[in-house]
């Protein structure tokens, strides 16, 4: 196997950029409508570094976010205040997630014109709108997800592949959190109820077990009121031996 | 469950439009470079119907297709000549796959502005480039797939979610072929080797067993020379009782 870091790339990237994740924990709370911060964010030197690279962080509210989406964002942002949870930034290109020291390592296969699969649409709100939060001590990751109209499977509902994609990415984040570099070995998805386009769901994942180089992880996609289980999944990842 | 036809929507659509599928079996062979037909297609009345709806069929060669992609397309098109295999057309909107008689049934949830998840990018070659072929008598479906640079997971490779999406759609087509309307119950994917962006792979699926309302299906993603097994998957679908 010539390859170090498979589909977990998105989350790997988010987690790798610890400096950015740290600065983004200061991201402000938003009210839908104005979509303006209700407190003045205090930008650190790290934040300035993030901005200076002129990469857009897509894991922040935009006008396409519904009231439910903004409310969930704010709820988790509240939980970042004591450091238990952290918001992960999300950029369009893989390399933008990397601190400079790691870019060189991935430059061979990377291409600035490529786009992360989950950030491949041009218009806000049309594709994957999401923000991920990580709880390191509990090895949990949550994704607040609003599927847009370009993710359609059957009329009015998200394609099962888009749900699998969101689960794969969030489960991958969990595994990386626990073990560093990993490769996906298995993704097993049980579909219970379809997810309507434009709705907001929570993708909740956790590490269940670590057996040597093997990590067992699991997750669910639920409605924000917790009443509807849309999808559940288990996954297996293998850690990658460092050179 | 309020829902009739889950993530198999894409293939369901392709299969539902039997008239279109039939007319498209006459699609001509292409040479890369000119991308012009090497024989003059004989358009039937059905083909005219397809054209009159002014929907673009994305499952035909375009300049972004590599030599390998065009060669695989031509190989399977050859096999359509005796009627064993048929090419499935592919449109951007779900409702465009439907014959007029079925559109009304799905109009409630359908929206002409929505896009099928696998056809959601604007530029040719950037997202999912693919064409599916179906063998009804053997209950098999094959997808020739060229992942574009907007499907990136880790640098230079297709996101695992995009591979799961392609498998889900092709497996779904198999199930619909065998049993009509189905719902996805499970998708279980084992990742073996990552798929490089811009490469061409074959997604080969078949129906393994039908047990009452339950269908067991399986598939693999392989390199075109058959030497590399990238991914394998099993799936379970349930038939939907007609009202």
Asked whether the predicted pLDDT for residue A50 surpasses 70, the reply is no
Distance from chain centroid for Cα A104: 23
Chain B residues whose CB is inside 8 A of the A164 CB are 161, 164-165, 168, 187, 189
Q: Tell me the CATH architecture of domain A54-91+117-239.
A: Roll (3.10)
| Region of B226 on the Ramachandran plot (φ > 0 left; ψ -120 to 50 alpha; else beta) | left
**For the segment B5-17, what is each residue's pLDDT rounded down to a tens digit?**
333 443 433 443 3
Closest C-alpha among A126, A98, A21, A64 to residue B114:
A126
Residue with tokens 């359509």: B80
Q: Say whether residue A153 is in contact with chain B using an 8 A CB cutoff.
A: yes
Nearest CA in chain A to B148: A114
pLDDT average, residue stretch B170-182: 89
Provide the CB-side half-sphere exposure for A232 (13 A, CA). 4
Closest C-alpha among A235, A186, A168, A189 to residue A208:
A235
Q: Taking CB atoms and an 8 Å limit, are B154 and A188 in contact across chains?
A: no
DSSP output for B92-110: SSGGGGS-HHHHHHHTTT-
Catalytic option among A57, A68, A168, A225: A168
Q: Where are the domains of chain A?
A: 54-91+117-239
Asked whether the predicted pLDDT for residue A47 surpasses 60, the reply is no
Q: Taking CB atoms and an 8 Å limit, are B159 and A7 in contact across chains?
A: yes
For the beta carbon of residue A90, count every other beta carbon within 10 angstroms.
27
Q: Which of A15-19, A102-106, B170-174, B238-242: highest mean pLDDT?
A: B170-174
Give the list of residues 6+ apart from residue A109 with CB closer than 8 angstroms, or none. B154, B155, B156, B157
Nearest to B155 among A110, A150, A166 (CB): A110
**For the segment B80-93, what is each residue's pLDDT rounded down to a tens digit?**
999 999 999 999 98
Asked whether the predicted pLDDT for residue A158 surpasses 70, the reply is yes
Q: Taking CB atoms and an 8 Å limit, are A189 and B193 in contact across chains?
A: no
Q: Taking CB atoms and an 8 Å limit, are B117 and A164 in contact across chains?
A: no
Chain B residues whose CB is inside 8 A of the A8 CB are 153-154, 160
Q: Say whether residue B160 is in contact with chain A using an 8 A CB cutoff.
A: yes
Chain A residues whose CB is inside 8 A of the B6 CB are 153-154, 157, 160, 191, 194
Q: Catalogue the active-site residues of B.
A: 168
Helix A160-179 × helix A9-16 angle, to 10°: 40
Spatial contact of A143 and A130, defined as CB atoms under 8 Å apart: yes
Q: What local confidence, expressed as pLDDT, does residue B95 receive?
A: 79
Residue with tokens 């924990």: A25
Confidence of residue A179 (pLDDT cuts 50, 70, 90): confident
B62 vs B239, higher pLDDT: B62
CA-based nearest distance A82→chain B, Å: 32
Q: Where are the alpha helices (DSSP H) in A81-155?
A: 100-106
Indicate the pairing of strand B229-239 with strand B182-191: antiparallel
A197 vs B13, higher pLDDT: A197
Q: What local confidence, expressed as pLDDT, does residue A183 receive?
A: 87
Report the C-alpha gap between A191 and A200 in whole angstroms. Answer: 17
Q: What local confidence, expressed as pLDDT, does residue A8 receive?
A: 41
Q: Taking CB atoms and an 8 Å limit, are A154 and B12 in contact across chains?
A: yes
Q: Is A168 a catalytic residue?
A: yes
Report the C-alpha gap between B148 and B196 in whole angstroms. Answer: 9
Q: What local confidence, expressed as pLDDT, does residue B110 receive?
A: 67
**How far is the CA of A140 from the CAs of A78, A193, A204, A218, B6, in angstroms?**
17, 23, 7, 10, 29
Q: Say whether residue B95 is in contact with chain A using an 8 A CB cutoff.
A: yes
CA-based nearest distance B25→chain A, Å: 25
Q: What local confidence, expressed as pLDDT, does residue A196 receive?
A: 97
């Amino acid at each position: 196997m010539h390859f170090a870091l498979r589909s977990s790339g998105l989350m790997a990237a988010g987690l790798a950029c610890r400096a950015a994740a740290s600065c983004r924990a200061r991201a402000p709370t938003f009210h839908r409508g104005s979509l303006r911060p209700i407190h003045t964010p205090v930008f650190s030197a790290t934040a300035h570094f993030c901005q200076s690279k002129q990469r857009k962080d897509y894991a922040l509210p935009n006008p396409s976010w519904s009231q439910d989406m903004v409310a969930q964002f704010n709820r988790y942002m509240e939980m970042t205040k004591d450091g238990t949870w952290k918001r992960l930034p999300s950029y369009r290109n893989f390399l933008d997630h990397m601190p400079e020291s790691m870019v060189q390592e991935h430059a061979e296969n990377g291409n600035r014109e490529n786009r992360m699969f989950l950030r491949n649409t041009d218009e806000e709100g049309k594709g994957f709108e999401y923000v991920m939060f990580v709880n390191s001590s509990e090895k949990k990751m949550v994704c607040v997800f609003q599927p847009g109209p370009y993710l359609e499977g059957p009329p009015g509902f998200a394609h099962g592949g888009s749900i699998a994609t969101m689960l794969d990415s969030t489960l991958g984040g969990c595994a990386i959190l626990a073990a560093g570099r990993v490769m996906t070995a298995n993704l097993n998805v049980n579909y219970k109820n379809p997810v309507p386009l434009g709705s907001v769901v929570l993708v909740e994942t956790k590490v269940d077990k670590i057996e040597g180089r093997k990590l067992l992880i699991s997750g669910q996609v639920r409605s924000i009121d917790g009443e509807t289980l849309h999808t559940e999944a288990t996954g297996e990842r293998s850690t990658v031996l460092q050179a």
